[in-house]
Structure 1
Amino acid sequence: MRALKKIKKIGIALAAVFSIAYMSGCASRPADESAAEETKVVQTDKGEVEIPAHPQRIVSDYYLGEFLAVDTKPVIASPYALDNPYLADQVEGIEPMNITSAETAQEMIAAAEPDLIVTITEADYEKYSKIAPTVYIEDGKRSDEQLFRYIAQLVGKEKEADEYLRKFHEKVEKTKPEVQQAVGDKTVSIVEVWPQQIYSMGSHFARGGTILYDLWGLKAPETVQKEMVDGDEAYQVVSLEALPDYTGDYILYGVLSDTDPDFVTDSAIWNNLPAVQAKRVLPYRQVAFMHRDPISLNGQLDELYAFLTGKEVQE
């Protein structure tokens, strides 16, 4: 009996030692490791998805500027987003996604061992979901601001998004009276040239339209205003002959990469447009104006302000 009691005491003592060692081990785990293991459930366009509370290795096949605006750098991003000149000074170290095929992109993403994938491509959702928690964001479902806040919420950076938007709206309100005074009752239009096609755009398809029409309250030519600003159409393909109906007193003019625009710019119709004759045409960089993330919108606002007022924005 005395021996049995001694064995029990030794067992209790060892258990206490192991317990202390275990607790000590838990306490000594790196804070970032513990944080990385925390999760949260978010509502997505594919239902509820459990993601890391503080994702460390993010892959995004489209939404780059939204992440960078809240000081979050993905490990892999779309090469088209990486080519955006407005983001050029913030993308060092981000790998361009291999988009040779869906298979090569998937292989590259899997090799990077991400803990969160954010995609605009519904067709790839199931494949990506097998690699890591994946959030599908339907294009055009949210306003620019709603989209930014949503992405900031994914990475726990809501306060940073609020501050970015506060400063941006201050700039909008500061520049709006000067822009409206400079433009007056003149109209502003957006035209983009693709191979043998001409696109007219309003306020729903990037290219600075949100700034011009929604935030600054400028007017488009009647047809554009009715269908692509007040209406729901994002863009229309128009003929060269119809350009006078879709262009206003000012023209924002873009050309898709590797496209020859001579069929437009060498035409008598183009060169007789009032905006062209008055030199009120802003040739914009399509790769920059196709994006509508917060950083790009900031840069676009600066360019549009300079174009319309002849001055630079004073910070």
Structure 2
Amino acid sequence: MLKRKSLLIISALILMLSVLVSACGGANNATNSKTSTNTPAETEAPAPTEAPVAEYRSFDTTKGAVQIPVKPLRIVTDYYGGELLSVGANVVGVEPSAFDNPFIAEQLKDAADVGAPINVEKVLELKPDLIVVMYDESYESLSKIAPTLYLPYGTASDIYESVRLFGDIVGDKEKAEQFITAYDQKAKEGRERLKGIVDENTTVGIFELTDKGEIWMFGENSGRSGQAVYNALGLKIPDSIKKQVDANGGFFQLSKEALPEYAADYMFMTVYDPEKKGEAIKQLTDLAVWKGLDAVKNNQYFENDFDTFYRYDPLAISGQVDLIVDMLIARADENKK
């Protein structure tokens, strides 16, 4: 009887021990399951990657200081497409005539036409982080979309000031200096190519004829290839022209009868004729006063495409250097025959 009681006690102890072991195992399994679930509150999960916060800096304008991105990524402009592209900016929107600029058209193939005057709704759709405008009609509305810089015409006086200004704006002064170095080298090579072709005392006049028959003359820094002709290639501006352009802000209008007073050995004429009628240029070239000009008689008159030579952004000026040199060399070869 005692033996049987002992067996019962031992069996009970074994049963209790089994229950305890099972309970401990269940607790361990629960702990392991909890660890593998890795809920955020119970584990040290890595911090989520955050989008970088854009850095801003102050930029002084005629409208006061503006906080602009240190490195703008999406820029909308009206008339500064070429200036921005010359320093590697991402131009996502620009005024319509920029697409006719042969020097930047390819770089603008993915950009949007924002209208002229600039259309605020179109700009809003482009989500720019910087806007740069020459005209300020919609400045207040644009400023509500993104930091907006108003840079009126004439803010930069030449290609060097322009490139450095926009290199500063886009946060890449080094690229601006690289552009200038390349431009100076191109100008030097152009001058070398013209040695023996154009004498250093030879004069060059830059003219424009409008579809209304108006004649304008331009100096060193007013577009129509002036910077390429006079500054980069060092060709000479007649004293009579220089006096007038300096006194009238870089360009002036003259009558057809006054053409001989502003004659030059070479004449470059851009023709503004948007409807391609050809009437104004025919009326001019039929005049006796025109036919009597030395540049015309000596076959040293050049009629130039408006879209190509009207432009004065850095990329256009750089391209015009090559075009002018090629034109002068080709004409000299032609005149030798």
TM-score by length of 2: 0.78
Q: Does 1:120 align with 2:138?
A: no
How many Å apart are 1:169 and its aligned residue? 0.2
Q: Does 1:193 align with 2:173?
A: no
Unaligned runs of at least 5 residues, structure 1: 1-15
2: CA distance, partners of 1:173 / 1:249:
22
Contact kept? 2:87, 2:166, Cα under 8 Å: no
SS in 2 for 1:186: coil
Contact kept? 2:219, 2:241, Cα under 8 Å: yes
1:21-40 alignment, distance < 5 Å = 24-25=47-48, 28-29=49-50, 33-34=51-52, 37-40=54-57
Q: Give the corresponding residue for 1:307.
A: 327
In structure 2, the CA distance between the partners of 1:90 and 1:18, relative to structure 1 (3 Å rule), is farther
How many Å apart are 1:133 and its aligned residue? 0.5
Q: Does 1:209 align with 2:226?
A: yes
SS in 2 for 1:210: helix
1:148-227 alignment, distance < 5 Å = 148-179=163-194, 181-184=196-199, 185-194=201-210, 195-227=212-244
1: CA distance, partners of 2:42 / 2:95:
49
2: CA distance, partners of 1:293 / 1:237:
23
In structure 2, the CA distance between the partners of 1:89 and 1:232, relative to structure 1 (3 Å rule), is same
Contact kept? 1:271, 1:277, Cα under 8 Å: yes
Q: Does 1:287 align with 2:307?
A: yes
| Root-mean-square deviation (Å) | 2.4
2: CA distance, partners of 1:54 / 1:20:
35
Q: 1:76 aligns with which of 89, 93, 97?
A: 93
Contact kept? 1:189, 1:220, Cα under 8 Å: yes
How many Å apart are 1:148 and its aligned residue? 1.6
SS in 2 for 1:206: coil
Q: 2:150 aligns with which of 136, 139, 143?
A: 136
1: CA distance, partners of 2:79 / 2:319:
18
In structure 2, the CA distance between the partners of 1:50 and 1:263, relative to structure 1 (3 Å rule), is same
2: CA distance, partners of 1:180 / 1:19:
77
In structure 2, the CA distance between the partners of 1:73 and 1:82, relative to structure 1 (3 Å rule), is farther
How many Å apart are 1:271 and its aligned residue? 2.2
Letter in 2 for 1:204: N
CA displacement, residues 224-245 of structure 1 (integer Å, 9 cap, x when unaligned): 02232x5563111111111112
In structure 2, the CA distance between the partners of 1:109 and 1:152, relative to structure 1 (3 Å rule), is same
Letter in 1 for 2:215: I
SS in 2 for 1:220: coil
2: CA distance, partners of 1:145 / 1:124:
29
2: CA distance, partners of 1:255 / 1:18:
77
Aligned residues: 286
Q: Give the corresponding residue for 2:104.
A: 87
1: CA distance, partners of 2:41 / 2:67:
37
How many Å apart are 1:131 and its aligned residue? 1.9
Contact kept? 1:58, 1:115, Cα under 8 Å: yes
Contact kept? 1:180, 1:216, Cα under 8 Å: no
2: CA distance, partners of 1:20 / 1:84:
57
Q: Give the corresponding residue for 1:12.
A: none
Letter in 2 for 1:24: A
Radius of gyration: which is bigger?
Answer: 2
CA displacement, residues 7-27 of structure 1 (integer Å, 9 cap, x when unaligned): xxxxxxxxx959966x712xx
How many Å apart are 1:217 and its aligned residue? 2.6
Letter in 1 for 2:203: T
Contact kept? 2:163, 2:180, Cα under 8 Å: no
How many Å apart are 1:109 and its aligned residue? 1.1
CA displacement, residues 261-308 of structure 1 (integer Å, 9 cap, x when unaligned): 222122222222111121112222211222222211111001111122
Letter in 2 for 1:169: D
Q: Does 1:65 align with 2:85?
A: no
2: CA distance, partners of 1:263 / 1:238:
16
2: CA distance, partners of 1:18 / 1:71:
48
CA displacement, residues 169-200 of structure 1 (integer Å, 9 cap, x when unaligned): 01112222443542212210011011131111
Q: Give the corresponding residue for 1:268.
A: 288
SS in 1 for 2:106: helix
Identity of aligned residues (%): 31
Greater shift in the superposed pair: 172-181 or 209-218? 172-181
SS in 1 for 2:137: helix
In structure 2, the CA distance between the partners of 1:124 and 1:266, relative to structure 1 (3 Å rule), is farther
Q: Give the corresponding residue for 1:255.
A: 271
